[in-house]
Chains A and B, each alone.
Chain A
């Protein structure tokens, strides 16, 4: 009970201080006005629509990245020649942040969903790829050999030994990738909203609140929503990880 009080102490103090300090100014957002704004934005459907648009883009991009990165990572992790030859490319592109590619992507794909999906896919690709490679390379060699000595064929070995053995690492890569993807979509929508007048998404909503309607309560509502979604995405993949890997020691 004491510990719970300790944990609640700072959040409550901070919220109170914010409420009191901001009450002097009419436009400054306060916890009470933010809650009102959140209710209004949910009732009008703006907030759910914005979130849904962003989430759809994230899922499309994330799925694209997974479909490309997991098989490539498995091949790179199990065939040394392929890894050696492709590693220079991976190491060259990995340090380039997805958001830095935004100007190019706007040039190639415009400012719509396609561009957003491409940014997300690029952002999520490298964490998934690198974790998959590492996971495949870290497999106990004797596990593959054990299946080999039992006369299990090469393709079956891939499916029943290599894949489950690398699965924890692949899922960790996906969890990191999804987190990065969510950040990338916000950045992309913000930047697109700022410069090119694209459509939709929670990031763009925030920019519109800043640039046109000067609605600070709306901005804070969006920020909190971004945080909650990030938390939910992370928790759901953690849950998936725990469910899909029941054999790992707790």
Chain B
């Protein structure tokens, strides 16, 4: 019904930005006033102190170094999980035998949260690089596996039938029909996997790594540097948000026909 022109669209977007700024400004003001009211600055530092701490850890390179380590671990573990889980998921979704074979091991292992592996993994790997990568790999693996399997399983039979009537080979059908049809579901599960892994990295680093954002917040807590703790928490949130945005963008790029799926 609405035939909105470009200026109208722009006004709407601009209004959204204004509301965003107003809400955040109000939130920061309330926080600031609350911080003023609390005598102990260690308990609740003002947003100004947090901004200052954020700036300092940015300038001395500590923020970028720790964030870089955490993001690298995320990338390595999710990439490894995807390399293993996506082909396995396609096989599970398209072959009843593979599906039956893997069903119980998956259903038995999946409820055990990645985080619950931390003590055992600490024992096996010790404190260091391998522990968080293992935990994140494990956390990312199941959403990817099941998302891919569900996507491959729910491919419209008629599409495959149509490809068969055109005389396509099994391999070609897999590449040209099953994979594209399952792609939106794979991409949604990739976003879930990354979000879950990002949660797990904090827990893993908090307990068992000598570096990374999770380690940093725990370290600064023990130093009672609350503003820096909050600055690192904010960094974790922002990076989580940005990774999700990047994945959405990647999804729109790879599967533009599924644009509306899996929003929020």
Contact = CB atoms under 8 A, between A and B. Distances in A.
A contacting B, Cβ–Cβ less than 8 Å: yes
A227 B120 contact: no
Contacts of B113: 182-183, 186-187, 226-227, 230
A209 B230 contact: no
19 contacts: A6-B100, A10-B105, A85-B23, A93-B237, A97-B199, A97-B202, A100-B217, A101-B233, A107-B221, A107-B226, A134-B264, A183-B113, A190-B203, A194-B207, A203-B116, A224-B112, A226-B111, A226-B116, A231-B111
- Chain A interface helix/strand/loop/mixed: helix
Contact of B229 (A95, A96, A104): A104
Interface of A: 3, 6-11, 14, 84-89, 91-93, 95-104, 106-108, 130, 134, 182-183, 186-187, 190-191, 194-195, 203, 206-207, 209-210, 214, 216, 219-220, 222-224, 226-228, 230-231, 234
B203 A10 contact: no
Contacts of B22: 85
A89 B66 CA distance: 26
B116 A227 contact: yes
A52 to B, nearest CB: 17
A25 to B, nearest CB: 12
Interface of B: 16, 19-20, 22-24, 27, 42-43, 97, 100-105, 108-109, 111-113, 115-120, 122-123, 195, 198-199, 202-203, 206-207, 213-214, 217-218, 220-222, 226, 229-230, 233-234, 236-238, 240-241, 244, 264
B217 A88 contact: no
B188 to A, nearest CB: 14
Residue among B206, B213, B217 with the most chain A CB within 10 A?
Answer: B206
Contacts of B264: 130, 134
Contacts of B116: 186, 203, 206, 222-223, 226-227
A223 B202 contact: no
Given A186-B113, A214-B123, A230-B111, 10 more contacts: A6-B101, A11-B105, A92-B24, A93-B237, A95-B240, A96-B240, A100-B214, A104-B229, A130-B264, A227-B109
B233 A9 contact: no
A6 B119 CA distance: 32
* Interchain residue pairs A-B with the least CB separation, the first 3: A95-B240, A103-B221, A96-B237
A105 to B, nearest CB: 10
A134 to B, nearest CB: 7
Residue among B22, B27, B105, B119 with the most chain A CB within 10 A?
Answer: B119
A76 to B, nearest CB: 13
B229 A234 contact: no
Contacts of B118: 190, 206
Contacts of B244: 95
B119 A207 contact: yes
A135 B43 CA distance: 38
A219 B233 contact: no
Given A88-B20, A103-B217, A230-B111, A7 B103 contact: yes
A89 B27 contact: yes
Contact of B203 (A7, A92, A191): A191
Contact of B100 (A3, A100, A222): A3
A100 B104 contact: no
Nearest to A230: B111
Contacts of B27: 89
Nearest to B239: A95
A85 B19 CA distance: 6
Given A7-B100, A8-B104, A95 B112 contact: no
Contact of A210 (B43, B119, B218, B221): B119
A209 B214 CA distance: 23
